[in-house]
Amino acid sequence: MNAILNTVSAPLKVVAGPITAVAATTGTVAAGVTPYLLPIVGFGAKGITAGSAAAAAQGALYAGAVPAGGWFATLTSWGMTGAATGVLGAAALPVGVVVGAGVYVAGRALVG
């Protein structure tokens, strides 16, 4: 049984550090780009951008009658107010760090 665990855990020992770094970097990058993502897909400061993916989704899913409090209305609000910067940006970094730390701890536990 120990031989099997050693065989499985040896590759984890090699990749645990890089995986941690990638996960933490992903969280950091997500925190940095979050304010730009909503406008790119069409949730802008003046509302839904004509001809955007958001406009297409609004037309296809709601035909212009978006229900209050739904996901589309929330994204529209975040795009118009810039709230995504605080909400999603603040969450992205710690999530990346926690995922990275979890992978590292699990890898270290398996390696022994």
DSSP tag of 47: E
Q: How many CA atoms, within 13 angstroms, populate the side-chain half-sphere of residue 25? A: 6
Q: How many CA atoms, within 13 angstroms, populate the side-chain half-sphere of residue 38? A: 27
Residue 48 tokens read as: 């839904």
User: 47: which strand partners?
Assistant: 44
Q: What is the pLDDT of residues 42-97, one digit of tens each?
A: 998 899 999 999 999 899 998 878 888 888 898 888 888 876 666 665 666 677 67
How many beta carbons lie within 10 A of that of residue 74, not counting itself? 15
Rounded mean pLDDT, 12-33: 67
> How would residue 5 be classed by pLDDT, with cut points 50, 70 and 90?
low
Average pLDDT score over the chain: 75
Q: What is the pLDDT of residue 62?
A: 87
- Per the model's pLDDT, the better-predicted residue between 68 and 14 turns out to be 68
DSSP tag of 112: -
Q: Which helix (H) or strand (E) holds 14?
A: helix 2-41
